[in-house]
Amino acid sequence: MAVAKFTGIDWALKFKPWGAVKLAGNINKALPLIGLAFEAWDSYNKHQKQQEFEKTKREMESHFNNQKQEILDLINDETRFKQTCFPMALELEKCIQACEESVKKTQECAQGLEKWIQTGEDFIKGEDFIDVEPEEE
């Protein structure tokens, strides 16, 4: 105790019961206010989180709608859709078109050959007329 008085820290070593009672009474009065402050702070944080959640939800919905529109635009544009999703389809279509043209030419040649054969058979039978068509180039 003498050392404490010498250094000037004697206030910590003295016990004042009425001071402790007053302090406890003040703390007891302040507890509802402190609880109310914590409740208000918690409500504010919940409100902020709810606002942030709603904002994020709107942003996600906007992104999904944009992606949906991009996909629909891609699907509706047949050429771009084929180029993006089926790059070999255009080459295949060109090949099919070339084959169809080749078949058409072959059929035309076959018809010309059949005409020529028919003309030859008519000539052999003795019919005098020969129907000659000029060649197209």
- Per-residue pLDDT of 97-137, as tens digits, reads 999 999 999 999 999 999 988 888 888 887 655 556 666 65
Q: Give the highest mean pLDDT range of 3-12, 47-56, 75-84, 128-137.
A: 47-56
Count of all residues that appear for the chain in the document: 137
pLDDT exceeds 70 at position 33: yes
Kindly state the average pLDDT of the residues 3-7: 53
**Radius of gyration of the chain from its Cα atoms, rounded to whole angstroms:** 50
Token pair belonging to 35: 């609880």
Q: Tell whether 68 and 112 lie within a shared domain.
A: no
Residue of higher predicted confidence among 112 and 20: 112
Helix (H, G, I), strand (E, B) or coil at 129: coil
pTM over the 0.75 mark: no
Token pair belonging to 110: 């076959």
Residue 94 resides in a domain? yes
Q: What are phi and psi of 109, to 5 degrees?
A: -65, -40
Residue 131 resides in a domain? no
Question: What domain count does the chain have?
Answer: 2
Q: Tell whether 14 and 59 lie within a shared domain.
A: yes
Structural domain boundaries, residue 13: 1-76
